[in-house]
Amino acid sequence: MRRFASVLTLPCLLVACAAPVSTPAPQSSASPAVANGEKINIQFKAEVNGQPFACGQSYTGLGSSKTQISPLDFRLYLSQVQLINAQGQAVPVQLEQDGKWQHKNLALLDFEDKTGTCEGTPETHFEVSGTVPAGTYKGLKFELGVPFDLNHGDVNQAASPLNLTSLFWVWRSGYKFARLDLRSTGQPTGWFLHLGSTGCTGMPTPVASATAHAADMHVQHETAAPTAAHGDTSDLSTTPPANCAQPNRVTVNLPEFDAQKHTVVADLGKLLADSNLDQNQVNSAGGCMSSPDDADCAGVFKNFGLPFGNQATSSQTFFAQK
């Protein structure tokens, strides 16, 4: 368990503030105290069956067909980040509002760097930072997904990191909570995993449509067009939804997590372990676009811990601590 100090001397605070944001604080010293509580940095890492994720790298033995893959993208939206205190209560982390990677209670993780085969942005981001009240904490909880109130708006007017058109479908479906794209031996043109909400029903009054080829305003200017989730019948002039039949947000619990000792690992190999990456359901988008009718989603939804059809829901296996 981690005990956060509530008071630090000024010299200690100055030293801590001079350290790079991405560097974890030494185990022997407390995190710097700030006005609203204790500063915390939660580190994340991407792996493929235990190997470090890297653009331009090929990985063998993936999925049920044990294929070889080359990654194209690896980006995730996280929200509702909470630490579990000694009483078992979930305490929200007040995220740093940095104007780029974090907005309100949402954070973007970006593990690709647009080198090799990857097609995202050059910048990367591997951590979630914020503050919590001083106290003793013994676990971590968060969601993979964009909260409903942030998920259905105009991507061209959204604050960063919600202004990435490459992570957006349409207003009705909202954002791609996870974009995990790859090429495999059997699918050389691409096998794509885009997790997001589906079955979203609209309100009666239309709103202005998103521009199909709006530039990405987040650091790099991608020009990826918003596209509808596979199986979603809404068009590009959709209305904001009242609800979504399949919200598809993944709740992650790491009950023994200590931010001073552990890193959260997202392992693509474990997520895809039950998916045949060399085949694709006939007359469906390549890979899984979160449609409840797409059999290619069954394996990844199982390992996300999400319901899919009649298959039993199990614990998620994508995230773990190290």
For residues 262 and 94, give the distance between their C-alpha atoms in angstroms, rounded to a whole number.
Answer: 20
Q: Among 149-153, 268-272, 300-304, where is mean pLDDT lowest?
A: 149-153
Asked whether the predicted pLDDT for residue 57 surpasses 70, the reply is: yes
Say if residue 23 is exposed, middle or buried (CB neighbours under 10 Å; 0-12, 13-18, 19+): exposed
For residue 2, the model assigns a pLDDT of 52
* CA separation for the pair 38, 31 (Å, rounded): 7
Q: Backbone phi, then psi, for 71, in 5-degree steps? A: -75, 145
Q: How many angstroms separate the CA atoms of 204 and 199, rounded?
A: 16
What are the distances in angstroms from CA 203 to CA 233, 238, 243, 291? 15, 9, 9, 21
What would the mean pLDDT of 104-129 be, rounded to a whole number? Answer: 97
Say how far apart CA 19 and CA 116 lie, in whole Å. Answer: 31
Report field, pTM of the whole predicted structure over 0.95: no
Q: Per residue in 205-236, pLDDT tens?
A: 333 333 333 333 333 333 343 444 544 444 44
Tens of pLDDT, residues 154-178: 999 999 999 999 999 987 889 999 9
pLDDT tier at 1 (50, 70, 90 boundaries)?
low
Give tens-digit pLDDT for 75-91: 999 999 999 999 999 99
**Partners of 294 in beta bridges:** none
**Chain center to CA of 152:** 17
- Helix, coil or strand: residue 60: strand
List, for residues 35-47, the tens digit of each pLDDT value: 457 899 999 999 9
